[in-house]
Structure 1
Amino acid sequence: METMTLPGARQRFVYYPETDGEPMAETDTHRNLMIDLIVALSKYFNDDPHVYVSGNLLLYYEEGNPAKSFSPDVFVVKGIEKKERPIYKLWEETKAPDVIIELTSKTTRLEDMGMKKGLYAALGVKEYFIFDPFSEYLKPHLRGYRLSGDEYALIKGKRIMSKELGLELKVEGESLRLYEVFSGKKLLTPAETAKAKEVAEKAKEEAEKKLEEARLARKQRAENEKQARLAMAQATRESRQTAKEEARQKLEETRLDKKHKVESERLAREAKAQADRQARVAAKEEALQKAEETKRARLA
């Protein structure tokens, strides 16, 4: 329940409904387009706290008269607080929308091209765009108007620009798309945003996977290099140990050979000495025997 005080009158209650009982859009295409445009514009102006984007919202333009209302498909108001509103009351907000976009059809043709066009100009809506997705009567599909004085002037040229939004409006099939004028970047629909997010997340996962694979590869390479160094060090130690053992064995063999030679020489000397002693004994015995024989011969 809304309240209002009129000059010279008692306070009375005026009810401003939040719905007019009309369907949101003519067709699924109209509804989807409206939602896509509202979401895209809301995201585009997300960081500006003084730009309000809405659509299919009742806008009351005469205080105390609930019959004086309309519900634009899409509209943008600059210079007011960004907040949720159940309805839009022109006398409280103190300004009309800067831009209105209507998604038209043959059933709303007279209203969109007649009454609304005149009303929007009278209220001071700076830019008014009409899009006919099925090209039921507008050829080309899109038409734009810019306020000049108290009347609308047709925006001419191949490119339809919104000075108020800083965007270019383009027809793509049955869709109305918005592009940033300077960057040429397209404003994405919710479905495209979700797809882009999915692609970005997948790319991120792939990048993280590749980074992890690279990390593991570096780790494995480092481990392989470490094992190679350890193996080389082990092989070097074993080689040195083998060489040392071979040298020791050669020294031992040399020592044993020398010892054996010395022992052999000693045994040879002892054998020779033994033979010499035996020869002397034999010679002595032989001499004694001869002497004995000579003695016996003399005695005989």
Structure 2
Amino acid sequence: MSQLQLTPKSQVIYPDSDGKPMADNTKQFRWIVVIQQNLEWLFADNPTVFVAGDLLWYPVEGEPGICAAPDTLVVFGRPKGDRGSYKQWEEDGIPPQVVFEIRSPGNSQTELNKKQVFYNRYGVEEYYLYDPDNNDLSGWVRSGDNLDVIDPIANWISPRLQIRFDLSGEELQLFRPDNQPFLSYVEIARHLEQTEQQLEQERQRADQERQRADQAEQRAANLAERLRALGIDPEQI
């Protein structure tokens, strides 16, 4: 009579890649990077918020077949740092609270439905799905044991992230809690360049003001010297 052979948990392999590309096109990739990097920036000063993009998440120990790789995930209560994958049992059992998916033409509705079921089953609190080709945003927020549809989602503010979703333009715009928009790397670089130029202009204006003040002070000193030479006390004028 044969016995069932069980693989010890220590020998279970959890791949760091699912073999799928991060994005199907440049637009999807741009949105993944913008969301992930801006969230990383938003929580840069909080050591217990972990943000990652296209990282495999394994919610169940010993079950490497149960996994998902959200385009962006955010975990509150876990330290920053590099990981090959997110093994939930090694992270105090904390699942990602917020996940983002950017839809591409290669995503079937069945695939997206499976992802929603997965996120609902394994404890995600907020799930956002954006279709950049149609400027369509869907969202779900946890209520009890289930993810409920966010309706309306225009100007919705994430309970966890405190970011705002604006659909009034030609494409989705995300705003930080201080109402500053999410920016691409190029926009950030341009903003920094403009800021540096403005600071340089301010420094030049300040230098010019100091030079004018020094010149005026020197003229006043020369005048006072001439008055004293004529026997006139400038303090009495």
Is TM > 0.5 for Structure 1 vs Structure 2?
A: yes
User: Which position in structure 2 is the counterpart of 1:105?
Assistant: 104
2:224 match: secondary structure:
helix
CA distance in 1, matches of 2:138, 2:8: 46
Cα distance, 1:108 vs structure 2: 1.0
Cα distance, 1:224 vs structure 2: 1.7
CA distance in 1, matches of 2:71, 2:45: 23
1:193 to 183, 188, 191: 188
Within the alignment, does 1:143 sit opposite 2:142 as a pair? no
Q: Which runs of 5+ in 2 are unaligned?
A: 1-5, 232-237
Return closer, same or farther for 1:217/1:35 CA change in 2, 3 Å cut-off: same
User: Which position in structure 2 is the counterpart of 1:166?
Assistant: 162
User: Which position in structure 1 is the counterpart of 2:78?
Assistant: 80
CA distance in 1, matches of 2:187, 2:105: 29
CA distance in 2, matches of 1:132, 1:113: 12
CA distance in 2, matches of 1:70, 1:162: 22
Return closer, same or farther for 1:11/1:73 CA change in 2, 3 Å cut-off: closer
Cα distance, 1:9 vs structure 2: 6.4
User: Which position in structure 1 is the counterpart of 2:203?
Assistant: 208
Percentage of identical aligned residues = 29
User: Which position in structure 2 is the counterpart of 1:179?
Assistant: 175
Contact 1:104 1:133 in 2 (8 A): yes
CA distance in 1, matches of 2:197, 2:106: 45
User: Which position in structure 1 is the counterpart of 2:213?
Assistant: 218
Residue 226 of structure 2 aligns with an amino acid whose one-letter code is A
Cα distance, 1:89 vs structure 2: 0.6
Cα distance, 1:221 vs structure 2: 1.1
Return closer, same or farther for 1:231/1:109 CA change in 2, 3 Å cut-off: farther
Residue 194 of structure 1 aligns with an amino acid whose one-letter code is A
2:11 match: secondary structure:
strand
Return closer, same or farther for 1:64/1:189 CA change in 2, 3 Å cut-off: same
User: Which position in structure 1 is the counterpart of 2:47?
Assistant: 49
CA distance in 2, matches of 1:111, 1:231: 93
RMSD: 2.1
Cα distance, 1:78 vs structure 2: 0.7
1:106 match: secondary structure:
coil
Which structure 2 residues correspond to residues 281-296 of structure 1 after superposition, within 5 A?
A: none
Cα distance, 1:47 vs structure 2: 1.4
Contact 1:58 1:88 in 2 (8 A): yes
CA distance in 1, matches of 2:98, 2:221: 69
Contact 1:102 1:112 in 2 (8 A): no
User: Which position in structure 2 is the counterpart of 1:274?
Assistant: none
> Of Structure 1 and Structure 2, which has the larger fraction of its residues in helix?
1
User: How many residues are aligned here?
Assistant: 223
Contact 2:34 2:182 in 1 (8 A): no
Cα distance, 1:185 vs structure 2: 2.9
Cα distance, 1:159 vs structure 2: 2.4
CA distance in 1, matches of 2:110, 2:52: 20
CA distance in 2, matches of 1:78, 1:23: 27
Contact 2:25 2:104 in 1 (8 A): no
Within the alignment, does 1:156 sit opposite 2:155 as a pair? no
User: Which position in structure 1 is the counterpart of 2:234?
Assistant: none
Q: Which runs of 5+ in 1 are unaligned?
A: 1-7, 238-300
2:157 match: secondary structure:
strand
Cα distance, 1:130 vs structure 2: 0.4
User: Which position in structure 2 is the counterpart of 1:37?
Assistant: 35
User: Which position in structure 2 is the counterpart of 1:229?
Assistant: 224
Return closer, same or farther for 1:223/1:40 CA change in 2, 3 Å cut-off: same
CA distance in 1, matches of 2:77, 2:90: 13
Return closer, same or farther for 1:16/1:200 CA change in 2, 3 Å cut-off: same
TM-score, with length taken from structure 1 = 0.68
CA distance in 2, matches of 1:128, 1:202: 40
TM-score, with length taken from structure 2 = 0.85
